[in-house]
Amino acid sequence: MRTLDASTPSPTALLSAAARAAHPLADQPPHLLNDTDAQALCSLFEPSPLSYQLGAAQHPIMAAARISTVARSAFAGRLIGDSGLGQLLVMGAGLDTSVSTGFGGRVLAVDRPDVLGWRAELVAEAGIEDASIPVAADLTEPGLVDALGAAGLDATAPTAVVALGLSMYLTAADNRAWLTALSCLPPGSMVVFDALLPDVDADEAGRGYAAAITANAGGREPWHWRPSADEVDMTLKASGWGSVAITAESDAVPAAFWQANPGLVRQRLVQLIHAQVLPPTTL
């Protein structure tokens, strides 16, 4: 049995998996997703991070973390499905298989080398089918494009890039760097990611949530970037992306889910972002 301790390569990746695992057990339907892989991964740990989630499922911080985690995955899953794109690049993949399950084309999973090694061990132990190609890259360092090329990224194929629960752990400059590198993908490629509003743009519930997470988990994996919607837009455009659409998390979650779960708070903190590589303009 494994434990969540100081040697865990990414506690936030495990807690994200636990949130996805807990959602169908803790929340009333209609569910946003049903991540049985995450449940299998949690069962490798003692105590199980899933039991921890379920033990305090309605605590406001726990519930908000869970809803954010499943809302971003469901949002990305919908856009990936609608796009019809044939190559998927999952940035900061952690232990997530939810966005790639059932994807028909090539999937590349980027994360730090230690996290990818841990992911491979856990996936094998849990008997999960994971066809993603690991791409070891620390996004605070140069070398992403070379690593993707070496791993077999088809640079001529329009690609869906998904980066969930990642942008806050990188600086503005590091986020600009990976966005700029990937904007060289062919027109039709898209990126989906989430970003946290700064306190000044969040509501009281969002500010309280951010303060609680920072106090509890800020040491190992601290937050570095909480851009306003304008900053997200400018960052994407300066990095070569266009057609930027920003959706508030609460609007991305179907009304029927909120109605079935009246105890959950629709906090204003998380922005769900979608942008595309546009064709070159012709004069």
Ligand X SMILES: C[S@@+](CC[C@H](N)C(=O)[O-])C[C@H]1O[C@@H](n2cnc3c(N)ncnc32)[C@H](O)[C@@H]1O
Nearest distance in Å: CB 7, ligand X:
14
35 binds ligand X (CB under 6 A): no
Nearest distance in Å: CB 69, ligand X:
6
Nearest distance in Å: CB 37, ligand X:
11
Nearest distance in Å: CB 279, ligand X:
29
Distance separating alpha carbons of residues 156 and 163, to the nearest angstrom: 20
Query: Per CB under 6 A, which of residues 163..182 are in contact with ligand X?
Result: 164-166, 169-170
First-to-final CA distance of the chain = 63
Q: Among 32, 67, 85, 93, which residue sits at the site for ligand X (rule: CB under 6 A)?
A: 93
Q: By C-beta, is 92 or 206 nearer to ligand X?
A: 92
Nearest distance in Å: CB 280, ligand X:
30
Instruction: Give the x/- contact pattern for ligand X in 130-159, rule: CB under 6 A.
Output: --------xxx-------------------
Q: Which amino acid is at 70?
A: V
Residue nearest to ligand X (CB): 94
Nearest distance in Å: CB 188, ligand X:
23
- Residue (of 247, 246, 248, 239) closest to 267 by Cα position: 248
- Residue 272 sits at φ, ψ, to 5 deg, of -105, 125
Q: Among 96, 122, 158, 190, which residue sits at the site for ligand X (rule: CB under 6 A)?
A: 96
> Distances from the Cα of 30 to the Cαs of 21, 26, 33, 212, in angstroms?
15, 12, 9, 28
Distance separating alpha carbons of residues 199 and 83, to the nearest angstrom: 33
Q: Among 23, 66, 106, 112, which residue sits at the site for ligand X (rule: CB under 6 A)?
A: 112
Residue count at the site for ligand X (CB under 6 A)? 19
Categorise residue 4: left if φ over 0, alpha if ψ from -120 to 50, beta otherwise. Answer: beta
* Strand partners of residue 245: 274
Distance separating alpha carbons of residues 61 and 212, to the nearest angstrom: 7
Q: By C-beta, is 83 or 100 nearer to ligand X?
A: 100
Half-sphere exposure of 67 (CA within 13 A, CB side): 32
13 binds ligand X (CB under 6 A): yes
Contact residues for ligand X (CB under 6 A)? 10, 12-13, 16, 92-94, 96, 111-112, 115, 138-140, 164-166, 169-170
